[in-house]
Structure 1
Amino acid sequence: MVAIGLLDRLLLAGSPTVYGALFLPVCALTALWVREADIVTAPISVPIAFAAGIVPIAGGEGGLGSQVMAVVTALAVHAGWLYGGTLVAGVISCVRKVRAMARRRRPADRRRPGPPIGRR
């Protein structure tokens, strides 16, 4: 997201709409590419990536205080993109987790012998 933010600043003068629109597929890809053992981290890492990537396009002129206020303002104004991306990553992660749990349960069900068919 930092690279996307830098490219957005260089090519499009820091358009927050383009940055937000590119954030959504990055969230989906993050949730799809993360290892099965780390599925829970996808919805946690995408807001951090959004905040890190918005620094180049936030605007702040001058000192550190101005830059921090610009980032906080950009996060507040563009929270819809942030919530949407987190929702996308969360839904994909939940579906992947449920499918992984079902895969783990299935072989255990096959090993247990059931009652003989036709007998009571």
Structure 2
Amino acid sequence: MIGPYVGRVEQSIRTQPPGPRRRPPTGAAAAAVPGPGRAPETVGAPAKSVTSARPRPPAASPRLRLRLPLGGHGRGRTGRPTRLTAIGTGVLAVLATLAMAGVDRLLFDGLGWLFGFGYLVVCFQLAVRVRYVDLLAAPISGPIAFALALLLLEPVHSSGVTAQVVSLATGLALRADWLFTGTGLAALIVLARFVAQRRFHRAR
């Protein structure tokens, strides 16, 4: 019985290659040994997914836009004067005429040439700056502002409603040249703008 066993041992020794025998890896060593179709991994380090690193475009910085407030009588982006509505024309006429009348009475103790010249300037500005749809507001607002300035700032020697009416009528009569000149100037400018606008629309 010992003979066949010895024969098998000798046959196994002949078939094995010379050198120490390899032992199967166990534990952490088994994880480090790459197998077929398996990528090597670092022992004790978690697997990290490899992603393609693409450069990100820089974030666009917000553009700061500064807007300057434009008043009712300033100039817009196109360089043209800002147009006035009918209400704006009346308010501007009253305020400007009262201001000129107040300055004239403060300097010369009455309403004289400074008030009349200021009224001409006011009528010109109203006719130039009023909108096309509100052209009639310019020649109408001027005389109303003129009469209101006389009623409020013209010195009255006696009290009462009758005295106020007489003083207003007298002031209008004495300053009729300034009144009709300023109102006529505004009417001519408004008429010229109206005709020019009509011709422009017909040409188109």
TM-score between both structures, scaled by the size of structure 1: 0.80
Write out per-residue CA displacement over residues 61-97 of structure 1, whole angstroms, 9 at most, x where no aligned residue. 3233222211110001111111101110011001111
The answer (yes or no) to whether the contact 1:60–1:69 under 8 Å persists in 2 is: no
The structure that has the greater radius of gyration is 2
The answer (yes or no) to whether the contact 1:23–1:81 under 8 Å persists in 2 is: yes
User: Counterpart in 1 of 2:156?
Assistant: 60
SS in 2 for 1:15: coil
Unpaired stretches in structure 1, ≥5 consecutive residues: 108-120
TM-score between both structures, scaled by the size of structure 2: 0.49
The answer (yes or no) to whether the contact 1:31–1:43 under 8 Å persists in 2 is: yes
User: Counterpart in 2 of 1:114?
Assistant: none
Greater relative contact order (Cα 8 A, min sep 6): structure 1 or 2? 1
User: What percent identity do the matched residue pairs reach?
Assistant: 36
User: Counterpart in 1 of 2:56?
Assistant: none
Deviates more, 1:38-47 or 1:26-35: 38-47
User: Counterpart in 2 of 1:106?
Assistant: 203
Deviates more, 1:37-46 or 1:73-82: 37-46
Deviates more, 1:21-30 or 1:46-55: 46-55
User: Counterpart in 2 of 1:48?
Assistant: 144
Structure 1 vs Structure 2 CA RMSD: 1.5
Using the TM superposition, give the Cα deviation of residue 52 of structure 1 relative to its aligned residue in structure 2, in angstroms: 1.0
The answer (yes or no) to whether the contact 2:111–2:154 under 8 Å persists in 1 is: no
User: Counterpart in 2 of 1:113?
Assistant: none
Unpaired stretches in structure 2, ≥5 consecutive residues: 1-96
- Distance in 1, matches of 2:193 and 2:201, equals 12
Write out per-residue CA displacement over residues 26-58 of structure 1, whole angstroms, 9 at most, x where no aligned residue. 111010111110112211221111111222442
Deviates more, 1:20-29 or 1:51-60: 51-60
